[in-house]
Chains A and B, each alone.
Chain A
């Protein structure tokens, strides 16, 4: 059914359709309306779940871990400082191999205090063993809530998934969304069954320790199974398409990259704007393209490298900076290019920090830089990082 929903409402709708048995939550802007909606659903009876209103984010995830450890399908949500506060528990969830789905409303990190959107929160926790996927619009936020469970609970994967939605740009923006019927959702996502659970008849320990002689195996399998998700994602999306009629493009989305001379890599909702600019450039005869990274973990390095291999200049547009280095997405993309032996000049466009508007003029300026970079790579040799709104008048590195 077609509805006009905010990203958070869409996400909550997707979660409802997935029938989680336990929801534990603590409110934080811009995530709050997700768990508020879910609380209303539980109250009005449209969702049958145990709703735990806990006293902190740390407890929200700890409770989710406890619930998942009894074999329950579990949901939680957070943002920014809340995500950092639960960081300790992130590795308990992933190391424990509990297929929790958590929504993270991407928001800046303090200090300075700021409630608005950027992606520093989830990107700073890329290494905590969770699958990370980024939605570009409200429809995808809803659909990912459902697909995330299918990926997480696949026994080849058995890992938690963080569904990242851009704060405000998605969470508080309304647009029309197609909400699937419960029957279709049920056909797509069967109930969660697992052996990795606390068994009341034959109790087991779940807070295990693994000394030097065993530790590497946990790490190795965690790594391998995370990798396996790269094969599971397309399978899940094919099943989703069969049930819902909506097809998703897998780990990455290539948009007019085939013959592109300049390609912008984007993450999350910024892709909408990049796509618009790419279309405008194409109309002017400029061979521009976009590569949208959907899953950042597991990292689809080979797919990224092959999509970028033909370009003469590549940019990464991200709402993130790893201080003193580059943006985290850029660092990852560079690793993909280097591993595949792709030599192409690159720039890292850092913008939209702390809710700063990512404007069309900035993205156009960034493409101008890429076109110039393709012609004379040396001009940009000093530093690949371009702070949009600071380095140049409208986004240029000049």
Chain B
């Protein structure tokens, strides 16, 4: 069995990937690899992790392009690409409060289940429990062992309970396969999952930096140099952003502190016809949501607004 984990840094996807690997390797008598691909190394940035489980030793350490289970710990990361990553017969496990129309998508309200035990949403173990319910490869007992092998003693008890709750919620332990129950729910008129394209959403109302990035850099352009007019950016990094700066132009004094201090040079001046600066704006294709501008603004006119809430609204 192969699992791709989609999450944002800090949501515990790699811990889940490891716990699943440990479940298979230490308790299930199988071979397993668990590894992350680290994108930008910061909390909130999209990342992936992988778990490979097999009956014989696994030599291939390359990233998975398709998997039997594709787990999304964060609903905002779920987009049109989901089908391409699914092996025939595979399933998507989505942390979402509402059921999905497509029978291949199993929704678990992992935020709610984990919040009930922990007091705050940490979805990783919920999806582990769900995998135990949905697959024949690891049992709930294996997952317990995996949790014990990878989480600190302090966290184990709560996470074991979360795994149990998730196992139940997805219909594990019953005679009917969870997917059948899911089919029933779909037939009963479940709402389809909303598919967000975070980057598209981010681009709405965006004025592009006029003098920098009309087109995006290609390897031929940057591979011979590491000096760029716009900081160190050679590709869009809006995907890192979990909060975005929203600027209140009625309060802005045009002091340009944000313009000077943005570490990636993604704030730019917008000029009127005479060439005078009439306002500042953010290039949301590159803004990484660090919040430096909001901290720096002496007039307090920049607010950092969660991307997720906005995407859901």
Contact = CB atoms under 8 A, between A and B. Distances in A.
A4 B147 CA distance: 12
Given A168-B35, A173-B35, A276 B26 contact: no
Contacts of A358: 61-62
B138 to A, nearest CB: 13
Interface in B13-31: 18, 21-22, 25-26, 31
A359 interface: yes
A175 B60 contact: no
B26 A176 contact: yes
A4 B150 contact: yes
Contact of A111 (B38, B60, B226): B226
B60 A272 contact: yes
Interface in B82-118: none
B58 A272 contact: yes
Interface in A269-285: 269, 271-276
A276 B25 contact: no
A360 interface: yes
Interface residues of B, number: 23
A4 B18 contact: yes
B44 interface: no
A357 B61 CA distance: 9
Given A4-B149, A172-B36, A273 B22 contact: no
A18 B22 CA distance: 26
Interface in B210-269: 226, 232
Interface residues of A, number: 26
Among A111, A112, A174, A274, residue most surrounded by chain B Cβ atoms (within 10 Å): A174
A321 to B, nearest CB: 13
A214 interface: no
Contacts of A276: 59-60
Contacts of B226: 111-113
B36 A175 contact: no
B143 interface: no
Contact of A2 (B26, B34, B62, B150): B26
Contacts of A272: 58-61
A4 B29 CA distance: 12
B240 to A, nearest CB: 16
Contact of A169 (B18, B25, B34, B61): B61
Which 4 A-B residue pairs are closest in the complex by CB-CB distance? A272-B59, A173-B35, A4-B22, A276-B59
Interface of B: 18, 21-22, 25-26, 31-36, 38, 41, 58-63, 149-150, 226, 232
Interface of A: 2-4, 111-113, 115, 168-170, 172-176, 269, 271-276, 357-360
Given A168-B38, A173-B33, A359-B62, 4 more contacts: A174-B32, A272-B60, A273-B59, A274-B59
25 contacts: A112-B226, A113-B226, A113-B232, A115-B38, A115-B41, A168-B38, A169-B61, A173-B35, A175-B21, A175-B25, A175-B31, A175-B32, A176-B25, A176-B26, A176-B32, A269-B61, A271-B59, A272-B60, A273-B59, A273-B60, A273-B62, A275-B59, A358-B62, A359-B62, A360-B62
